Structure 1
Amino acid sequence: MNAPSSPHRRGLLTLGSVAVILAVWQAVAAARIWPPVLVPEPAAVWEKLITTSTEGYAGHTLGEHLLASLRRILLGCLYGIGGGIALGLLIGMVPTVRALLGPPVTFVRTLPPLAYLSLLVIWFGIDEEPKVWLLLIAALPPVAVSTADAVRGVHEDYLNAARSLGVPRWQLPWRVVLPSALPEILTGIRVAVGVAYTSVVAAETVNGIPGIGGMIRDAQRYNQTDVVILGILIIGLSGLLIDFLLQTLDRRLVPWRGRD
């Protein structure tokens, strides 16, 4: 009986938590524990939202900054996810490839983006290429690892059944292994998109205008804390929307997940 009202309750709880955070933020800012240049009021950030959306910041509107960052994330994630799935299939199905490429993938997965950003700038310059490459490298390892683990977990009975039905050996990865591993692969994709999204500020530290990360970096130089907070909020809210879309895709593609 309580099931229909549970989404309503969750919505109220979410709104309540947001209201509490805003109230605490307003109280701290109004108390002037720190100067406004360090902790601006919510109204100041709202005013910057209106200003940057209409008049722009650093020659571009807020929408243009966001679209530029989303384009980089989309390209980096598409390349990273495609390469990660292909590499994960090879690592999971071919022991020799697993021995050769497993450790390098794990090594790259442990590196923070700033560790190789400077190298990418040396190789590709300061235009779009190093940004997309950084996001690609950030997104690829989680997908490759989750795909490889999922492939190794595919039950041998599925493969034997497919062979007995006449499925050619070269079609097994696409017709049996990949569909069976899809739930874990989608989880890896969600992780990869999250990693790429958190790396966008690092990617845009070099010639990142237009871009949300570049806007944050530029505002930080001039102590424009309200713009910095606005950029952080935009990244977080758009990230929540993207994750919601990925969860919706997950439910559509693997509706059996979580069911007995």
Structure 2
Amino acid sequence: MPKRAIQLASFLILLTVWWLITSLSGVDPVVLPSPGAVLEQLIFTNTCSMPTGVPGRTECGVQGYYLWQHLFATLQRIGVGVVAGSVVGIALGWILGRSTSARSIIEPYLSFLRALPPLGYIGLLIVWFGIGDQSKIVLLFLAVFPTVTVSTLSGIVAIKRDWIRAAKTLGASELQILRRVIIPAALPQIINGIRLGTGMAWAAIVAAEMNDGIPGIGGLAYISGTQLDTSLTIACIIVIGLTALTIDQLLLRFERRFTPWVGK
């Protein structure tokens, strides 16, 4: 059976089990809403409606924004955090990979940052940078750059010295060695680090948007959870998961395009 057919079948089975549980078990919708209720939220939060009892008034979306606007605001924050974290992480990983003394000094601090949960220092970032986008972007940056740095470092360290010596023997310049040997050899690990860092950014987005996170899909998930609007919370989780999955698939395609030799 083709891979896509298996994935579709597993999704339909999961959806059916979810519907059966909510339909036959009598579970409270606040605990577990039905798939139909979640679908209604996905539609309602992207449309406008007239509240009953308030003629002439129109409400659009939720919390003053459509769901796609919440998602777009979050994507902007994640985009800045991931790009900045990746650039700094690749540069720092490159430096550490070329200098053992710098690695011995900085590597413990990288491990320290990687071990910190986002909720552990979001309050400190708010004190330093305020509750606006700056603190959120810094949090996402801190979630990304240690992972990218370690992956880049691993890619640089793993390069076989025989390849570099062989290139020098054949008369390659330092620039040619960089372009033809070092970058291609380290690129798979760098891309993998960006993938992992992007996943870390999505994992931290709810913590980043807990304070003044509207518009933002993570902030909306948090607020709807505190208001016991479980169907909206699950709708936000689904949107976050599908968006993160789409971005990860794009990075995988980028990896296959520029490192086709991996796994062969």
Same fold per TM (> 0.5)?
A: yes
Contact in 2 for aligned 1:89/1:173 (Cα 8 Å): no
Q: Deviations over 1:26-45 (max 9, x none)?
A: 11111244211211111111
SS in 1 for 2:38: helix
Deviations 1:183-237 (A, max 9, x none): 1111111111111111111111111000110101111121100000000000111
Task: Indicate if the aligned counterparts of 1:120 and 1:134 stay in contact, CA closer than 8 A.
Answer: yes
In the alignment, which of 182, 185, 203 is matched to residue 208 of structure 2?
203
Q: Which residue of 2 aligns with 1:125?
A: 130
- Listed as ranges, the matches of 1:26-65 within 5 Å are 26-54=19-47, 55-65=60-70
How many residue pairs match? The answer is 251
* Alignment RMSD: 1.5
Gaps of 5+ in 2: 48-59
Counterpart Cα distance in 2 of 1:133 and 1:172: 35
- 1:103 matched to 2:96? The reply is no
- Report the CA distance between 1:162 and its aligned residue: 3.9
- Report Cα offsets for 1:47-86 as digits up to 9, x if no partner: 1111101131100001100001111111000000111111
Fraction of identical pairs, as percent: 40
| Residues 156 and 182 in structure 2, CA contact (< 8 A), matched pair in contact too | yes
| Partner of residue 229 from structure 1, selected from 230, 234, 251 | 234
State how 1:62-73 maps to structure 2 within 5 Å.
62-73=67-78
Alignment-mate amino acid for residue 9 of structure 2 = G
1:104-253 mapped onto 2 (5 Å cutoff):
104-164=109-169, 165-168=171-174, 173=178, 176-253=181-258
Please state how far the C-alpha of 1:173 moved relative to its aligned partner. 5.0
Deviation at 1:249, TM superposition (A): 0.3
Render the CA deviation track for 1:144-198: whole Å, top value 9, x for unaligned: 1111111111111232234442524x88556642222111111111111111111
Which residue number in structure 1 is paired with residue 81 of structure 2?
76
Paired AA for residue 145 in structure 2: L
What TM-score comes out, normalization by structure 2 length? 0.91
Instruction: With the length of structure 1 as denominator, give the TM-score of the two structures.
Output: 0.92
Q: Which runs of 5+ in 1 are unaligned?
A: 1-5
1:91 and 1:172 mapped to 2: Cα distance? 18
